[in-house]
Amino acid sequence: MTDHYQEKVYNQIHSFIKRQEWDFSEKDEFGTKRFDIQHGKARCIVKIYSNGTILIQGQESKLREAMLQLKQAIENDEVIASELLPFEIEAFPDTLQKNIPSIDPVIVRFLSEAILCFKANSLLGCSFLLGAASEKAIWLLIESYTQAITDERGRRRFSERTKNKFISRAYEEFKQSFHSCKSKPTNSTLTQDLDTKVESIFQFCRICRNEVGHPQITPNLDRGVLLANMGQFVMYMETIYKLIDYFNNTKIEV
């Protein structure tokens, strides 16, 4: 039984470290599983004993604090291996600004506020703010595509089809135009990413925001589902900004 607990805890911690993309090494030490973790200048040692007990060693740092939070979550039986934990999303605004230096500050602010709402268990506020951040990014994507259209008449016609429209209608117009244009990326990954990485998160954020912003009844939001989609938000923004960068540097023939 003890080996089972040790293996379970090991998998949870290993999955968490991999998600953070921290440098680490691991080894068995007299029946104890040990992780040596490094993030920047911070170092931390995690030992997992045969009965599942976790020992965190290292000087005070954000790295050690994160591991202590993980330890508490595991001990409270709140962790499933590979599942995002609430405290992991706190770094998302900084991650976005680091990975996307040109990101619109409105997106970062709305995401930051959404995280505060989630931590306070204000799920309605979180979903509304997340939807607002998503909508801002999609409008920036559509605007960059519009400006990239070379033919003035085609650009004007596309603008008329999207201007002052609901975001869902504008996005559909954009998607149809992009898929049929003559200037799709030669690297098909960006086109596939629009369908696989952008579409699902956009629709989730849009629907949740509409349910909160135009309620008929109180929306029944699932905290776990909301957290899982927030966990995809950095990747979602990175994909949108790759497309924006492509349109900023490519002339589009519709």
Tell me the per-residue pLDDT of 74-126, one tens digit each, with 9 for 90 and over. Answer: 887 766 555 567 677 888 999 899 999 999 999 999 999 999 999 898 999 99
Structural domains of the chain, with CATH = 2-83 (3.30.310.10), 89-248 (no CATH)
Q: Which amino acid is at 164?
A: N
pLDDT at 80: 56
pLDDT of residue 7: 87
pTM for the whole structure: 0.72
106/193: higher pLDDT: 106
Question: Which positions ≥6 away from 133 have C-beta within 8 Å?
Answer: 106, 107, 110, 111, 114, 205, 233
Type of residue numbered 135: E
In angstroms, rounded to a whole number, what is the distance separating the alpha carbons of residues 204 and 243?
Answer: 20
- How far is Cα 124 from Cα 50, in angstroms, rounded to an integer? 42
Q: Tell me the range of 19-28, 106-115, 207-216 where mean pLDDT is highest.
A: 106-115
Give Cα 103 distance to the centre of its chain. Answer: 14
